[in-house]
Structure 1
Amino acid sequence: MSTDGRSASDSTTASALESASFVRLVTKADGDGLAASGLVARALAARGTPFQVTVGRTVATRTERAQATTGGDGDLTLVVGSTDATNATRLDTDDRPATLAAVDHVRDLGETPDLVLALAGLVAAGVEPGAGESEWLIETARERGLVERRPGVAIPTADPVDGLAHSTRVSAPWSGDVDATHETLSDAIGADLEAETDRADDADASGTTLEHTDHRALGSVVALDAVSAEAATAAAAESIQRVLKPYATPDAPFETVGGYADVLEATAQTEPGTGAALAMGHDAREPALAVWREYGRRAHNALEAASTGRYDGLFVVGIDDGPVEAVAALSTAFRSPEPLVLAVGAGEAALATREGTLPPLEGVARDLESVLEGTGDATDQGVTYDVTASGRRGYLQYDPAVDETTIIETVREYQ
C-alpha cells in the first residue's frame, strides 16, 4: 500500500477505528468529505461496527457537533475536515484529500474500498484520476472493469440532455435550460433524441440516451459551445478539458466518475442526508439526482442573473439566490477574467481560485467579525468558514444583514 502523504497519527487513527465499539463520523460538506465518510462507513458496516454520520458545513459546526457527543469507553468521534474539537480524532489532514485518507484506513481495517466512490471523491476534491497517489486506484479500477475511458462528457445520467443541462462542471449558453440543451443537441448532432430512457418517468428527463448518441460528437459540441460562449474567458478552454473523455462506470449508480462527483457535491451542500445515504451505498440514486438537478438549475440561473465587479486580481459575483459554491466554481472555471472569484449571496459567500491558494479564510472570518463588532452589527451567529484540502475553494457564513461591500473589502485585505 502506498503511504505517501500519510501522517504519523494515521496508525493511531487506524487502531482507534479497529477497536471502536461505536463511531460517530462528522464530515465536511463537500463531495470529498461525503466520499470519505461513505468509504469508512461501508467498512464499519462490513465489520459490524455501529456508526452515525452527520455533515457540518463549517469548521465551527463540525467542532460543535464533535464536542457535543458523549458516550462510553470504546466510542470514537471521527472528524473529516478541519475542526477545533479536542475530544475527536481527525481522519484527514489539511493538505490531502480526505478520500485518500479514508482509502488508507479502510485498507488498514482489512476491507476493500469502493474504488468508483473513491475516484468520484477525488474528482470532487479537484484531483484528476490517476494523478499522484490515485494512480493505483484508477489502474485497479480499470483492471477490474469498473471504469473505462471513452469519448464524451462527464455527466451522471444516460440522458445527455438531462446530464448537460444540470451539470455544474460545464458552463455553456444552454446550461440550466433543458429545452435549450435539447434543441442544441438535436441541431448539432442530429441524434435520435426521442429514444427510450431509464429516466423516462422523470419530468426533467428529455428522453435521450447516450446509446443513441455519438459520444465524440457530443464532446465536440459541448467543448465548442463552452469556449465560444459570449461570457467565456480563456480559462474555459482548459476547464472544459477536465470534463471530456470521461471514465464511464458501467456498474456504478451514475454513468461516469465525473458525474458521480457532481452529484456528491450537489447533495453535500443542499441535502447532506441524501448525500450521506448515497455515499454509504444505500438506494438513494433517484433522490440524489433530483437534488442535483435542482442544484444545477439554480446555480446556472443565479450565474446568468448575477451582478459582477472586477478588482485587481478579484472577480466578484453577486447573486440573489443559488448555491454560492457552485457559482464560484463555475465562474472561476469559465467566466472570471481574474484568478480569484468571490461569489456573494445572502448570509454566505464562496471563494474559488485557479492559481495558488485562497486568502486565509480563518483570518478573513476573524477580521470580518471584528468589523461587525466595530459597527455594532455583530450578531450571535458570528462568522464561520470552511476550506477544502486543496486550499482552492472556501466558504463563509455570516448574518444576512452584512452588506456585500463589507465582505469584498475584508477579502481584498488578504489578497
Structure 2
Amino acid sequence: MAATGRQTAAADLAASLREAGFVRLAPAATGDGVAAAGVLARSLSAIDIPYQIGVETGETSRSTEADVTLALDRDQPGVDETLGTARPASAAAFEVARTLDDQSASVAVAAAGVLASGKEPTGQLVEAIAEAGIKRRPGVTVPTDDLVDGLAHSTRLHAPFSGDPDAVRNTLQNVSIEPQDDEERRRLASIVALQVADAGDAATRAAESIADALRPHAGGPLVTLEGYGDVLDAAVREDPGAAVAIALGHEDARADALDAWRSHARSAHETLAEASIQRHSGLVVAEIEGPIETIARLLRDYRSPEPLALVADEDRVALAATGEHDAATVLETATESFDLSGRVAGDADLATQQYPGDVERLVAAIREVNRDA
C-alpha cells in the first residue's frame, strides 16, 4: 500500500477508536503482536478510551462488549480490523497511535516489535527513531547490561554457548565483557560471529543470519531495541501478562519478563542442540518437546541447509521458511485435505498449525507442495 493509502487507513482507524466506548486488542502471542498492543494501548489511555488486551493463542471472536475489536499480527475473522497482514503490526499501530495522540506513541515499543518480526523499521518509524536520538552502534543485540546473561539467553542467535552462561564466559575470556568503546564492541561482535559461523553443526546460512544480531539500535528500556523485541517475543510465549506489562511500560514487570525470556531461551537452545534433525530435499524436520516457534526459526537460520524447517511436538507444528518460500501458504496447501481443527496462523516467515497427526504424512505433503511449486 502506498504511503498515502496507509496514512488514510491509519486516520480512519484512529477515528473509529476515538468514537469507541471500549476497545479490545487481541494480539498474537508474538513480539510484534504484543508490541502493537502496547503502542495502541498507550495512546488509547492518553485519550481516555477504555481498552482490554487479551493475548490470543486460538481463534479470535468478536467481543459483544467491545465497540472495536482489533486483531494484531494475526489474520482472523470476526474482528473489526486486522493489523499486521501486509507489514509488521507494530509499524501500522505506530501510525494509528500517532494519529490518536502523537505524544504518547512509543517509538521504542513499535521499533522493538518490528525488529522482533524479523523486519527493519521503515517510513515514519525510521524518522521517529532518529528523532528520539536512537542510533546503531557496533556490538551484539542484548536486553541486559550483563553481557554474559544477554548472550547466553538471546534468541536472535544460536551458538555453541547459547543457553549456558559459563560457556559464554569461557568464550569471552580474552575480551572485555563490559566494552567501553566501539572498538571493544567490534571485537566482541567478531568473536560472537565466528563462534556462530564456525560451529560444527552450523549451516551456511548462519553466517548471514548472525548479521541480524549485530550492530543494534542502542536505546529503549532494555539496552537495545533488538533486545527489547527479543524479550517481548520470548516472554509472551511464557508469561503473556509480563510481556504485556513491559509493552505498556510497567517497570515492576521487568524482572518477570526477563525471567520468562531466560526460561524460554534455555529451553529453545538446549532442545535445538540435542534435537535429531532429519534432512529431506528442501526441508529439515525435528520432532521435539519445547517452544516450537522459536526453535523452528533458529533451526532455519542457524542449522538448516534447506529453505524450510519443520518442528513438531505432540500437538502442533511450526514451519519456518526462507525468502523464496511462504511458510503459511506451504502449510495451508499441505494440510488442506487433512481433517484438522484450527487455521494456519503466521506469515511467510513462520507459520503454525494444530497438528496431532503423523509427522511423516505432513512431511510428504510439504515435499509434494515443493515439487509442484
**Same-fold call, TM cutoff 0.5:** yes
Q: Residue 115 of structure 1 contacts residue 137 of structure 1 at CA under 8 Å; is this kept in 2?
A: yes
| C-alpha deviation, 1:403, in angstroms | 3.1
Distance, in Å, in 2 between the alignment partners of 1:16 and 1:104 is 14
> 1:128 pairs with 109, 120, 123, which one?
120
Question: Is 2:368 the partner of 1:413?
Answer: yes
Question: Is 2:329 the partner of 1:335?
Answer: no
Q: Residue 13 of structure 1 contacts residue 91 of structure 1 at CA under 8 Å; is this kept in 2?
A: no
The alignment partner of 1:229 has SS state of: coil
Write the letter of the residue equivalent to 2:304.
Answer: S
| C-alpha deviation, 1:10, in angstroms | 4.5
The superposition leaves residues 159-187 of structure 1 with CA deviations (integer Å, 9 ceiling, x where unpaired) of: 1110011111111111111111111111x
| Unmatched runs of 5 consecutive residues or more in structure 2 | none
Residue of structure 1 equivalent to 2:41: 41
Task: Classify 1:256/1:5 alpha carbon distance in 2 versus 1 (closer, same or farther; 3 Å).
Answer: farther
1:220-231 equivalent positions in 2, closer than 5 A = 220-231=190-201
Residue of structure 1 equivalent to 2:284: 315
Distance, in Å, in 1 between the alignment partners of 2:23 and 2:95 is 17
Distance, in Å, in 1 between the alignment partners of 2:334 and 2:130 is 43
Residue of structure 1 equivalent to 2:317: 349
Residue of structure 2 equivalent to 1:171: 158
Question: Is 2:108 the partner of 1:116?
Answer: yes
Distance, in Å, in 1 between the alignment partners of 2:236 and 2:337 is 28
The alignment partner of 2:140 has SS state of: coil
Q: Residue 36 of structure 1 contacts residue 103 of structure 1 at CA under 8 Å; is this kept in 2?
A: yes
Question: Is 2:351 the partner of 1:394?
Answer: yes
Distance, in Å, in 2 between the alignment partners of 1:36 and 1:216 is 32
Write the letter of the residue equivalent to 2:49.
Answer: T
Residue of structure 2 equivalent to 1:19: 19
Task: Classify 1:4/1:293 alpha carbon distance in 2 versus 1 (closer, same or farther; 3 Å).
Answer: farther
Question: Is 2:264 the partner of 1:270?
Answer: no
Write the letter of the residue equivalent to 1:287.
Answer: D
> 2:209 pairs with 239, 245, 260, which one?
239
Residue of structure 2 equivalent to 1:287: 256
Task: Classify 1:165/1:148 alpha carbon distance in 2 versus 1 (closer, same or farther; 3 Å).
Answer: same
The superposition leaves residues 55-102 of structure 1 with CA deviations (integer Å, 9 ceiling, x where unpaired) of: 112xxx242xx33x2227xx222221344433x211415211111210
Runs of 4+ in 1 over 4 A off after TM superposition: 7-11, 209-213
With 302-311 and 404-413 compared, the bigger mean Cα shift is at 404-413
| C-alpha deviation, 1:143, in angstroms | 3.1
Paired positions, count:
364
Write the letter of the residue equivalent to 2:98.
Answer: R
Write the letter of the residue equivalent to 1:98.
Answer: A
| Unmatched runs of 5 consecutive residues or more in structure 1 | 194-208, 371-381
Distance, in Å, in 2 between the alignment partners of 1:293 and 1:211 is 25
1:59-208 equivalent positions in 2, closer than 5 A = 61-63=58-60, 66-67=61-62, 69-71=63-65, 75-86=67-78, 88-112=79-103, 113-129=105-121, 134-145=122-133, 147-186=134-173, 188-189=174-175, 191=176
Distance, in Å, in 1 between the alignment partners of 2:54 and 2:365 is 31
Distance, in Å, in 2 between the alignment partners of 1:281 and 1:91 is 24
Residue of structure 2 equivalent to 1:385: 344
Q: Identity rate of aligned residues, in percent?
A: 39
Distance, in Å, in 1 between the alignment partners of 2:218 and 2:73 is 29
The alignment partner of 2:24 has SS state of: strand
Say which structure, 1 or 2, has more relative contact order (CA 8 Å, 6+ apart).
1
| C-alpha deviation, 1:239, in angstroms | 0.7
Distance, in Å, in 2 between the alignment partners of 1:35 and 1:18 is 20
Task: Classify 1:18/1:3 alpha carbon distance in 2 versus 1 (closer, same or farther; 3 Å).
Answer: farther
Tell me the TM-score normalised to structure 2 length: 0.91
Residue of structure 2 equivalent to 1:377: none
Distance, in Å, in 2 between the alignment partners of 1:337 and 1:347 is 26
Tell me the TM-score normalised to structure 1 length: 0.82
